[in-house]
A and B are shown apart, each in its own frame.
Chain A
């Protein structure tokens, strides 16, 4: 029973194929001028073709023959239109048939609607074309059809799919601009120009609003629906096999089309720019043999071929390849960074700031991480990434991709004009004060990194030995005064928000720690980074640190004051350290002196300055008396300070283990010295530095 059914289906299949074979023969041998009215044979073949097409799809050979037949108008316009409607591929569409189709259009005998149908079919079947090697050569011919008003939208769409970097020529850009000025800025022009701009930003000078969406009508539903039906029936995913055939020659256009559908925020893979040509072409004559970058896998290869590396066609792919980053670091080409910047800005805007489909967060994080690594490798920020950060800060909720955004923020460059940071400070202020203490700490960490980056950049590029006229990514003509102004603005801004932030958070230890980290960078600007600037911390940071209840912050404060002292002493005699001369106002010296004197008074001399005037530190002697605190002047020295008191107790326990009671008051005289040594041994190095530098044991008074 089963055997019979098997034979039966086989026979049915044979019969089904037969009509196709016969139809193939018929259309192949057809001569032009066939009458369609009343032509039964033609009708039969057409019906067979239609059945096959909407059921299982047509084979490539058949499509070839049919397209030829239809566009050759061998049986009149109506038949041709009918045939075009049922050209559903079973597997692929052969490239040759499309070339033939284009040549039929060039003959000029086709009616407009048939031309339009052909182009629409071309666009819909674009993903199913088996190879696109020769299609690109037709670019110029297709470009001509832009002038036909009816065909213009479709041709624009087609060109959008086909364009590679080599196709963007000045005269073509001029042509499109001419058309646009005649017809007006249609959305399809906008998209084509936007693509031209991405590929060759130097040729397209008008600005395309980056929010323009891909406005091409995405699918011709009749064909698409039929294709889907066919695919479902066959249960084979045609599109998958095509896109998975990832050989190295896959043209970029296919990838970019896929990317538009998926709207993924990914870095494109590395691809060669130059097509592989074997014939004697002009290209091979004039350029030396380039090393194809798709084969660049190891560092050794990079070293060997360093002078023959070509740049990739899609600039964004350098983010993927560490070797290419090395190469870009060495190359002295402006256009490299221009292209990269443009691609980066485009991606960040389209795919992130205004995304319709949310890219998965791992993808986005990946992308940001790669960007951050690239920026830290090249040791400078990209302009588009800075613009993106500024824009994003205005709509940020402080938790989305926090680490990545803060890292990007810390890569911002110093800027040509000092007031470029102003649009940054405003949103930062409101975000800072409205968020939790942990965000405040993270932001301070980020600002600290930002300052370190600026200072490092300055110390490298500001030396006279470096040629400031290096083109490309190094900002030229960076004035020392601009740098100094920007940095001092940053430090003042940080000082202000630190003061208020500390007050708001109740002098949270973690936050104070981060604030002091920042000032640790600031105090050494002159000696470490050769920046002629010394800025003291505000009182709102100094006094809370001095009166803090933990030893870590106190220790750090001591270290910072020690470094300030060193910097100011060196500033007096710059020649001794071969640093540049700087002018520091006497107000700064006064402030520093005041701080040092206060500290020494508190910590050493047991003369904690407490007055009835509460504006100094808020310590009022009457209040302290009310609280039954006797002898409050020595309550902040190294023995009784709340932060160091624990150490004193420990010391007492260790020192007088014999006696039952440890008496703190007996830490004086030689025990004072022992106590100090004990403190130093507990890793309180800052305290040690400060005391050794600012306190002279001989005289009772301080020295500075």
Chain B
């Protein structure tokens, strides 16, 4: 807070004070003179009450204390206590603090002072609430304006889209769709092409053994018509996309087992839970 602001606020406060200065009540404490007789009477009353307390206290002191080991005991005490208090409240008559009018006047002054203090709190809290409300009002007005603008813009857009929709002839929709499909098809071809090259380069089909091997253990079971990995993958993909309810294909001899094992191991294909000869592609798209 800079000095100018402080000065301004002080000025405002001074102005405000001059306005209600004449209506301010005079200071109460200055006028408080309680005659000595009233004080004495009050004192005597206090002494009497204190004697009563001491009597009750001595009665209570004679009661044997019980340590609470047991919540049930405590509950029964609670019950008794609450019933006793309820009874007392019903029977009790309100009574004056004192019958001396001077004393009562002094109590009244006290009350007025207390109310005065509390009213000052009310004043400051109301002022703070006002400030808050002003800020909230400004904020809400801003937001309202923004939202109205937004609403307008959206309504315009909606109208525009609607008009486009109406103008949107079937032929044009068809044309747009064709272009899109063409684009997607090109992309798909590109992907399949690159996949094909990749697979052909790194996962070729095992070569047919031209010469018989000496080691009969190394019997490569090579069939003439093994299909390439690319074809296996394509079959799997087509099956799962075309027939999602039955995406399994049966393994037969045209599938080179090591590739099948590889697909299974890397999680690209899954075995049928019951039939070990059926596999399907993992549902990557779901």
Contact = CB atoms under 8 A, between A and B. Distances in A.
Contact of A330 (B94, B143, B150, B282): B150
B184 A285 contact: yes
B150 A552 contact: no
A591 B180 CA distance: 74
Nearest to A281: B187
B125 interface: yes
Interface stretch (B30-38, B72-80, B115-123, B205-213): B115-123
Contact of A510 (B121, B157, B284): B121
A549 B150 contact: no
Interface stretch (A7-15, A157-165, A346-354, A621-629): A621-629
Contacts of B147: 326, 329
Interface in B122-163: 122, 125, 143, 146-147, 149-150, 153-154, 157
Nearest to B145: A299
A303 interface: yes
B94 A303 contact: no
A441 interface: yes
Contact of A552 (B95, B101, B119, B284): B119
Interface residues of B, number: 35
A169 B286 CA distance: 8
Interface string B260-286: 000000110000000000000011101
Q: Which of A169, A510, A646 has the most CB of B within 10 A?
A: A510
Interface string B97-110: 00101001000000
Interface string A49-82: 0000000000000000000000000000000000
Interface in B152-206: 153-154, 157, 180, 183-184, 187
Given A508-B118, A509-B115, A620 B146 contact: no
A431 to B, nearest CB: 20
A285 B154 contact: no
A303 B149 contact: yes
Contacts of B25: 646
B48 interface: no
A303 B148 CA distance: 11
Interface string A615-658: 00010100100111000000000000000001000100000000
Contacts of A169: 284
A664 B95 CA distance: 29
Given A171-B283, A171-B286, A303-B150, A509 B266 contact: no
B61 interface: no
B286 A306 contact: no
A144 interface: yes
B112 interface: yes
Contacts of B28: none
B118 A144 contact: no
Closest 9 CB pairs of A and B: A509-B118, A303-B153, A510-B121, A549-B115, A513-B122, A510-B122, A170-B286, A618-B94, A550-B115
Interface of B: 23, 25, 93-96, 99, 101, 104, 111-112, 115, 118-119, 121-122, 125, 143, 146-147, 149-150, 153-154, 157, 180, 183-184, 187, 266-267, 282-284, 286
10 contacts: A170-B283, A171-B284, A286-B184, A303-B149, A307-B157, A441-B125, A550-B118, A550-B119, A550-B122, A623-B95
Interface of A: 144, 147, 169-171, 175, 280, 282, 285-286, 299, 302-303, 306-307, 326, 329-330, 377, 441, 508-510, 513, 549-550, 552, 614, 618, 620, 623, 626-628, 646, 650
